[in-house]
Chain A
Amino acid sequence: MHPFAYVAPSTVAEAVAELSKHGDRARPLAGGTDLLVKARANVWELDAVVDIKNIPELMTLTINGSGLSIGAGVPCYQVYDNSEIAAQYPGIVDGASIIGGIQIQSRAGLGGNLCNAAPSGDGIPSLIALSAVAKIASVNGTREVAIENFCTGPSRTVLKAGELLVSIEVPKPAANSGAAYTRFIPRNEMDIAVAGVGVFVQLDASGKNFESARIALASVGPTLILASAAGDSLAGKPVNDETIAAASALARDAATPITDMRGTIEQRKQLVEVLTGRMINKAVERARG
């Protein structure tokens, strides 16, 4: 492991100043469950590690009338232990509660999951499905990027050298909406997705028709995938096996997986179709309350 400096600023301004000094040889540290592994394996050679856990803004979870704000350093357990989040954003809880095991979830957060930009990041599909936005700071100010545009490749994001993810902003879910995420793993826990699907649906007042839907896929491409055609196909359609099957087939078409040690192209495409159907049904069930 390359020796690095450890700094723990207490404001965003200090953190971005520190990050900008080192270019791409500095990384923010939240739970460290990805960073420390990569540093020890010499995947990253770092000169500085900027611990963000002393910055109050990055460690805050806010839920109010306008939506949910998840500080970039908030660990997963705080998300899924929050009863309001569990009630309003069950899709986020689905993802946050299956990243690693309990020890990992006590350190790792959704912000880190996003910045790590693994195509298999279980925390991300629900954020995409829920139209969440990443709030990013740098010495030049702040900007916002839609989550579906945040990851640009395996371990690559839109973050430029010196930029810091501050929070993830999730809009308040519309009435009659629901969301759900699941992944396929060969075991029952502590595993990495062979394929994952997050779904958000908004139904009409009768609960019998889709008004809109967003479907996001994990582990079946170089980035998380927003399967727009699949989600859009449901808008204005009745909730039935046929429309759900059609959307699932479109989700399958949107997947661009590879064959590797975790699964084959054919297996992953089939899993996307199966899981999409299951998650649409689950999101509908939740939308209907």
Chain B
Amino acid sequence: MVATYETKTDYKVIGNSPIRHDALDKVTGRAIYGGDVKVPGLIWGDVIRSPHAHARIKSIDTSAAEAIEGVFAVLTHDDFPQADDKTIETGEGTVNLRRGQSNVMADKKVHYKGHVVAAVAAVDRNTAQIAAQAIKVEYEILPAISDVDAAMADGAEVILEGLVGDHLGEKVENTNVARVFRHEFGNVEDAFANSDLVIERTVTMSMIHQGYIEPHNATAIWAQDDNLTVWSSTQGSFGVRSQVAGLLHHPESKVKVNYVEIGGGFGGKTVVYLAPIAALLSRKSGGRPVKLVMDRSSVFEATGPAPGGKIRMKIGVNKDGKIQAADTDLMLEAGGFPGSAVGAAAICVFACYNLPVSRITGYDVLVNKPKSAAYRAPGSPQASFAIETVIDEICDELGFDKIQFRLDNAAHEGTRRGDGVQFIRVGLEECLVAAKESDHWNSPLGDAPAGKARGRGIASAYWMNGGGKSTCDLMLQDDGTVMLNEGSADIGGTRTSIAMQAAEVLGIPVEDFHPSIPDTDSIGFTGVTGGSRTTYTTGLAAYNAAHKLVVELKSRLADLWETSADKIDFNEGTFTANGDSIGIQELAGKLGPTGGPATSTSSVNLAEAGNAYGVHICDLEVDLATGKTDVIRYTAVQDVGKAVHPQYAEGQIQGGVVQGLGWALNEEYFITDEGAMANRSFLDYRMPTSLDMPMIDTIMVEVPNPLHPYGVRGIGEVPICPPLSAATQAVKEAVGKPFYSLPVKPGRILEALNGD
């Protein structure tokens, strides 16, 4: 059963933007990140990685490494215990333990360049590096498969031996397609035959990386009693715990993951890479603490990027402006092991539209690139790019207003999503109306300087957001302040956005809260910070815990006031009964005789979440002689449900836009003929810098989510989706040429301009 709420509108705490509790530590450098972890007796680990994108491992000779002075342990896949052939949740995806183990350290084959083959632990970092390089690996090189076409071609080399693909329910061997699935309503062929206009396009996009500043790291101690302690930069300590325990076949109760601050993740830090290696190296080194830190090239080559791929999109529309049907094939790169974001892409692809007839076919395709992982609304940006490209062409072709057309076909409460789920109250129409009324949409583009041209693009997108499991504990102190423990890694200021929700209930200033994120031994299970779930789900746990604390305090006060708890009212921080009244913070100091400290705890598991929509407008200028693009104005409209902390909500939207614009205009994995990523550094992996971005204007629409008492929806992910098409359509308008491949980089624009 799903609880729904009548939403409040008058708030004391919610809707303000207090300073985040971790701000001072972070801006002064005092906060402890994974790379800062130092423990007595620490030694260093390093790994050797495959120089080939696809190869069989013929032999590994570790003798030279073992002979180096200062080396404590050498590790290969043979040192891993047999993992169960079962699939566990990672929060924003799943991992099959046996394949997860092979991704952490290659077993017989390497599936991508940078795949870890062996590891060492040594007295210092330099010795570890030298020893790792001394490991001799013999390979039999196999053809590298770099895109979905090559992977799906007849006779393609099979990447994952033993994979049995599920192709629409049929078991298929010797394939690189792990899964083909379909969601279908009605008959698309008939509907296309009855449409006035049918447009079909195929778009492609490159694999791209989240590009978080902090590289992956892990420190582990495998003590003599088999208790394993881990520190690792992650979006969720419990995700690290379940993966490490599963991959190493170790009881969860014997794995403790300490929380460290995270320098960005965007979905990429939901998967473990180094922690199991650090753990086994520690065990082999007699329980010495072992630390590993990746360099940037390894982060690019061997951690989970967002899938590239190919999407075929066909839409039929009538001259009255109603979409008749839509059909799509989503082919996304899983990377070296199964599990791309194609499932989520299929959920999102048609979610902005109310379609009478639709068919979605998803393909999860293995290629010799790093195993893809979640990246901010995984799968939705690619899907949004495909559908919005065709929608834009339909509007151009039939002369429809690009916002009115979307309004005429907008999904709303009761609309069935492409995968069959019926929407609860959603805010797409409100976003479209806000975009239509915005200053940006109603302002002219302005004249471009000589030699340049301008264009405007608009696009919408959807992300379903996440729920799942979260825990929050409250401990009222004698002085009226509150210790708040919660299990969500704090990426975007969630210590504060969670504490604010408890503060609103208790009528205690949020500055009087001390929110902490303890280790996995010290708080109930909480899923990763991902899926835009944290402020919604852990926030609800805080809300519930606060209400439980009020109940507890009423019962204590009933003792003090010699009345019954149900006669006591609580309103905005004050308890009243029979003419007596006392503030909650004053009461805190009087609890001693009533049974000691007052605490409460709440765990939730939310099956559903409030959906998020965004509508973005992008103005862009193109240098017609060089193909250089500059975004000159940008407005992001988004239904946030309720902005708990408007400054952070706005920051999330702006951050998403910047990443989406990077994806649209310049970012890509540039893959060589040998299957290597040529641009594996920030010098050549061209993420936008602050000098490339105009001010990103935001318009936050608040259509309350009925599943949350304050109407909170997730906000962090959907803003990365619309920029891909909004920027691309702006370039199309500027230069008069369509673009079907991302990134729309200057070279591609010049090619299109010279194509005349």
Contact = CB atoms under 8 A, between A and B. Distances in A.
Interface of A: 1, 3, 42, 184, 186-192, 194, 260-264, 266-267, 270-271, 274
Given A261-B670, A264-B747, A267-B747, A184 B678 contact: no
B746 A186 contact: yes
Given A1-B126, A3-B126, A261-B670, A186 B628 contact: yes
Contacts of B686: 186-187, 191
Given A1-B129, A192-B684, A260 B678 contact: yes
A261 B667 CA distance: 11
A263 B626 contact: no
Nearest to B669: A261
Contacts, number: 57
B692 A261 contact: no
B39 interface: no
A191 B691 CA distance: 12
Given A187-B692, A191-B686, A263-B746, 7 more contacts: A3-B126, A187-B691, A261-B684, A262-B684, A263-B747, A266-B754, A267-B627
Contacts of A270: 625-626, 750, 754
Contacts of B691: 187-190
B745 interface: yes
B202 interface: no
B745 A186 contact: yes
Interface size class of B (residues with CB under 8 A): 20 to 34
B607 interface: no
A1 to B, nearest CB: 6
Contacts of B625: 270, 274
B666 A187 contact: yes
Given A1-B129, A267-B750, A190 B670 contact: no
A274 B626 contact: yes
B76 interface: no
B679 interface: yes
A271 B666 CA distance: 17
Nearest to A259: B747
Interface in B126-166: 126, 129, 133
A162 B754 CA distance: 50
A122 to B, nearest CB: 13
A251 to B, nearest CB: 14
Contacts of B578: none
Contacts of B628: 184, 186
Contacts of B630: 188
A184 B688 CA distance: 15
Contacts of B670: 261
Query: Which of B126, B627, B745, B747 gathers most chain A CB within 10 Å?
Result: B747
Contacts of B1: none
B249 to A, nearest CB: 36
Contacts of B129: 1
Contacts of A186: 628, 665-666, 686, 745-746
A270 B747 CA distance: 10
A260 B746 CA distance: 14
Nearest to A271: B626
A267 B627 CA distance: 9
17 contacts: A42-B133, A186-B666, A186-B686, A187-B666, A187-B686, A190-B691, A191-B683, A192-B683, A192-B684, A261-B679, A262-B684, A263-B747, A266-B751, A267-B627, A267-B750, A270-B626, A270-B750
Contacts of A192: 683-684
B28 interface: no
A194 B626 CA distance: 11
Contacts of A271: 626
B689 interface: yes
B229 to A, nearest CB: 29
Nearest to A189: B691
Given A260-B678, A262-B684, A264-B747, A188 B692 contact: yes
Contact of B689 (A42, A184, A189): A189
Contacts of B692: 187-189
Interface centre among A3, A189, A271 (most CB of B within 10 A): A271
Nearest to B750: A267
Interface string B237-277: 00000000000000000000000000000000000000000
Given A263-B747, A264-B747, A184 B626 contact: yes
Interface string B664-699: 011000100000001100011010110110000000
A85 B375 CA distance: 47
B678 A261 contact: yes
A184 B678 CA distance: 20
A19 B403 CA distance: 69
Nearest to A260: B678
A20 B665 CA distance: 49
A190 B626 contact: no
A197 B521 CA distance: 61
Interface string B698-711: 00000000000000
A188 B661 CA distance: 14
A160 B670 CA distance: 36
A154 to B, nearest CB: 15
A191 B129 CA distance: 29
A9 to B, nearest CB: 25
Given A261-B679, A274-B625, A188 B689 contact: yes
Nearest to A101: B689
Contact of B688 (A42, A187, A266, A274): A187
By Cβ-Cβ distance, the 6 closest A-B pairs, closest first, are: A261-B670, A188-B691, A261-B678, A274-B625, A189-B691, A267-B747
B748 to A, nearest CB: 9
A266 B750 CA distance: 9
Interface in B737-756: 745-747, 750-751, 754
A273 to B, nearest CB: 9
Contacts of A42: 133
A107 B635 CA distance: 39
Contacts of A187: 666, 686, 688-689, 691-692
Among A1, A186, A264, find the residue whose CB has the most chain B CB atoms closer than 10 A.
A186
B684 A190 contact: no
Contacts of A3: 126
A263 B126 CA distance: 36
A187 B691 CA distance: 8
A186 to B, nearest CB: 5
A34 B627 CA distance: 30
Contacts of B754: 266, 270
Nearest to B129: A1
A188 B689 CA distance: 8
Contacts of A184: 626, 628, 746
A187 B685 CA distance: 11
Interface in B92-151: 126, 129, 133
- The residue in A184, A263, A267 that gathers the most chain B C-beta atoms within 10 A of its C-beta is A267
Contacts of A194: 746
Nearest to A263: B747
A130 to B, nearest CB: 25
B747 A190 contact: no
B675 to A, nearest CB: 14
Nearest to A42: B133
Nearest to A278: B625
B746 A267 contact: yes
A190 B750 contact: no
A280 B747 CA distance: 24
Contacts of A263: 746-747
A155 to B, nearest CB: 15
B684 to A, nearest CB: 6
Contacts of A260: 678
A256 B465 CA distance: 51
B751 to A, nearest CB: 8
Nearest to A184: B626
A3 B750 CA distance: 47
Interface in B333-389: none
Q: Tell me which of A187, A188, A190, A271 has the highest count of chain B C-beta atoms within 10 A of its own C-beta.
A: A187
Contacts of A267: 627, 746-747, 750-751
